[in-house]
């Protein structure tokens, strides 16, 4: 045992008895319960790398404050692989060595206190006694830098998903020891587009998770989409489903039912808003996945919120990868049927994350650009000085006869229509096996809905030159419904040519580039929903998830429009009710939907198109199957 380890144990057991409680020791793994300013103890696991047993070294700390179980994660970690489902920040992945610290947030696993889902900021400049994830991070770091003798006084915060939320909260009134932060696929706004809602539509497939988190109610869903759909259809509304499965007493479920609109409850928890109201000084890297099926909103929302503060090349960094949720920590060779010819996640960890952390925690030089983005369709990493890069907005028009073109349609109004029946909603992914799963459905071939009469599909001519899109496509729909409420789902798709040389699952496929849903009642106000005017064409502006993609020559661009995405999202009754969670069976009505394909409300998708389909070599990091690219 080194002198430093002995000092740690001594501090935990004697002089710091009022601040922490030692619970166990297993080799180089130590667990302590650290007291917060209100006396609540948080279970904390400290991993010391092998280097500290050979010589007196002082190392930076990498801290993750987690809901996923510090004990479970650290028992799976080792100095060689660092592999575990939600962490993955081991030595092999990010260089090092570092002292790794994982802590159960209050109210979770072995920590005391009460857990509040994405709790709002509670402390203020005049109130230092109230606690939140920001103060808990500060108190934890303060203890660590004073009691872990092997630590050199520098701390990095790093986390994924919910732990990305706690990482970002640690930026607010950050402890002076915090030198760098990395938030991967962070939960930022649970109503706008992370986890619970997307633009007001509720992700009801998360009800089992809500029940388990709240009171350990075991809600088992069937394994196939069609069986899940039947189960939700049988129960009625999402509120009825939750009630019949016994989660009415779960605090967070009650809050969701009471706050179906984007009111002050959600706005206080919108972390991009919260961060923009504070002065932040710690370098931050945000990591976004192009096909993140859980938290596709948060990372780029924070980037946009902080960008006006002038945080850019010196302290603000962004990675956009071709990944599902948390795939940056795993194998990044493919998502669904899309294969990149390289392990994109391993490349990013080695060439971007590793030097980034080492630079701010160890002072080593780095050559990491403000923005590193993978361009799907072209299969290459690019760097940019900013995001989104300079581009030209080109409207892509929905035309009669289900055509799609960059030239406007007829000046006179034309419409195309379909019936939307809540009793037969459009599925969000196919039932067939193979590459598609509940993790990769955002990358699922959309041919499975093209034969339905409640989905409109618009297709361009075959492209003769590449079309490169960098940024957020914005759908402008002129739409009407015979009811007085409606959902609108918009999909931007890359239609691959039929080619026997393509890999299985790609030839002839309709591969999604960006898809999202918008609940019509929020057309004018996210906070104050109101009925739609029945049968009247009205304009909608629907911002799709950000893309970095090249539509190649020989491909076609496709846009699909529909009014349900089931059972992932709850059904809109299509009759306005004050709270859709409380909709009765008689509220669900079949409606006739119309989409304008000409005239003053002509529907179109604004694409941020690079002026030239090519990218200067000075910004190109890796092309195609090259798995060992060099920096530009």
Residue 206 phi, psi (nearest 5)? -90, 0
Q: Tell me the C-alpha distance between 181 and 353, whole Å.
A: 11
The model's confidence at residue 82, banded by pLDDT at 50, 70 and 90, is: very low
**pLDDT digits 0-9 by tens, 361-416:** 999 999 999 999 999 999 999 999 999 999 999 999 999 999 999 999 999 999 99
**pLDDT digits 0-9 by tens, 476-513:** 999 999 999 999 999 999 999 998 777 778 999 999 99
- CATH architecture, domain 201-259: Orthogonal Bundle (1.10)
CA 105 to chain centre: 20
For 185-198+277-381+616-632, CATH gives: 3.40.50.1820
Whether 392-609 and 1-179 are alike in CATH topology: the answer is: no
Mean pLDDT of 208-215: 78
Hey, what CATH topology would domain 392-609 get?
Jelly Rolls (2.60.120)
Residue extents of the structural domains in the chain: 1-179, 185-198+277-381+616-632, 201-259, 392-609
Q: Tell me the C-alpha distance between 129 and 87, whole Å.
A: 31
The position carrying tokens 């990675």 is 319
Ramachandran category for residue 195: left, alpha or beta (phi over 0 → left; psi -120 to 50 → alpha): left
pLDDT above 60 for 284 = yes
The model's confidence at residue 548, banded by pLDDT at 50, 70 and 90, is: very high
DSSP secondary-structure letter at 428?
S
Q: Tell me the C-alpha distance between 91 and 230, whole Å.
A: 46
Hey, what CATH topology would domain 1-179 get?
Rossmann fold (3.40.50)
Cα separations in angstroms, 262 against 265, 556, 574: 8, 37, 19
Mean pLDDT, the chain, rounded, equals: 88
The model's confidence at residue 91, banded by pLDDT at 50, 70 and 90, is: very low
The model's confidence at residue 619, banded by pLDDT at 50, 70 and 90, is: low
Q: Tell me the C-alpha distance between 544 and 409, whole Å.
A: 23
pLDDT above 60 for 240 = yes
**Can you list the alpha helix ranges (DSSP code H) found in 307-353?**
344-348
- Predicted TM-score (pTM) of the model is 0.92
User: Cβ of 45: how many Cβ atoms within 10 Å?
Assistant: 26
The model's confidence at residue 437, banded by pLDDT at 50, 70 and 90, is: confident
């Amino acid at each position: 045992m080194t002198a430093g380890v002995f000092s740690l144990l001594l501090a935990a057991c004697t002089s710091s008895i009022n601040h922490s409680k030692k619970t166990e020791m297993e080799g180089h793994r130590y667990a302590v319960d650290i007291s917060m300013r209100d006396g609540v103890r948080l279970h904390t696991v400290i991993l010391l790398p092998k280097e500290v047993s050979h010589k007196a070294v002082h190392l930076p700390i990498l801290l993750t404050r987690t809901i996923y179980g510090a004990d479970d994660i650290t028992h799976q970690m080792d100095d060689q692989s660092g592999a575990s489902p939600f962490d993955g920040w081991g030595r092999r992945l990010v260089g090092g060595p570092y002292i790794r610290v994982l802590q159960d947030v209050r109210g979770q696993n072995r920590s005391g206190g009460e857990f509040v889902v994405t709790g709002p900021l509670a402390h203020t400049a005049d109130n230092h006694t109230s606690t939140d994830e920001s103060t808990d991070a500060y108190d934890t770091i303060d203890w660590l830098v004073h009691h872990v003798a092997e630590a050199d006084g520098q701390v990095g915060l790093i986390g994924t998903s919910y732990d990305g939320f706690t990482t970002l909260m640690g930026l607010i009134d950050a402890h002076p020891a915090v030198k760098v932060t990395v938030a991967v696929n962070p939960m930022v706004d649970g109503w706008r587009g992370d986890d619970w809602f997307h633009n007001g539509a509720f992700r009801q497939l998360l009800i089992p998770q809500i029940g388990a988190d709240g009171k350990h109610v075991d809600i088992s869903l069937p394994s196939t989409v069609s069986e899940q759909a039947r189960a939700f259809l049988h129960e009625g509304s999402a509120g009825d489903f939750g009630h019949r499965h016994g989660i009415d007493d779960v605090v967070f479920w009650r809050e969701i039912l009471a706050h179906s609109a984007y009111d002050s409850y959600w706005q206080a928890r919108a972390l991009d808003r919260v961060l923009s109201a504070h002065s932040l000084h710690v370098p931050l890297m945000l990591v976004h996945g192009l096909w993140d099926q859980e938290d596709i909103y948060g990372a780029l929302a924070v980037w946009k919120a902080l960008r006006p503060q002038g945080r850019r090349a010196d302290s603000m960094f962004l990675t956009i990868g071709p990944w599902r949720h948390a795939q940056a920590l795993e194998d990044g060779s493919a998502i669904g049927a899309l294969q990149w010819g390289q392990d994109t996640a391993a490349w990013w960890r080695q060439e971007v994350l590793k030097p980034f952390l080492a630079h701010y925690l160890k002072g080593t030089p780095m050559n990491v650009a403000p923005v590193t983005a993978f361009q799907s369709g072209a299969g290459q990493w690019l760097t940019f000085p900013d995001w989104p890069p300079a581009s030209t907005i080109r409207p892509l028009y929905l035309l009669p006869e289900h055509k799609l073109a960059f030239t406007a349609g007829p000046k006179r109004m034309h419409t195309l229509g379909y019936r939307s029946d809540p009793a037969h909603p459009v599925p969000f992914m196919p039932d067939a096996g193979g590459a598609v799963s509940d993790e990769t459905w955002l990358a699922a071939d959309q041919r499975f809905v093209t034969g339905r009469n409640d989905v409109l599909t618009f297709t361009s001519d075959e492209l003769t030159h590449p079309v490169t899109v960098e940024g957020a496509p914005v759908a402008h729909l002129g739409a009407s419904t015979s009811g007085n409420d409606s959902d609108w789902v918009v999909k931007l798709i890359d239609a691959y040519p039929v080619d026997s040389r393509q890999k299985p699952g790609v030839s002839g496929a309709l591969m999604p580039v960006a898809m999202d849903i918008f609940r019509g009642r929020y057309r004018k106000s996210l906070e104050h929903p109101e009925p739609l005017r029945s049968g009247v064409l009205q304009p909608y502006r629907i911002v799709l998830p950000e893309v970095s993609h090249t539509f190649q020559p020989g491909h076609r661009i496709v846009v699909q429009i529909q009014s349900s995405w089931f059972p992932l999202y709850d059904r809109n009754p299509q009759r306005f009710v004050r709270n859709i969670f409380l909709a009765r069976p008689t509220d669900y009505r079949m409606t006739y939907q119309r989409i304008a394909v000409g005239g003053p409300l002509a529907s179109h998708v604004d694409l941020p198109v690079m002026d030239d389909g090519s990218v200067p070599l000075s910004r190109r990091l890796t092309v195609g199957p090259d798995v060992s690219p060099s920096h530009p």
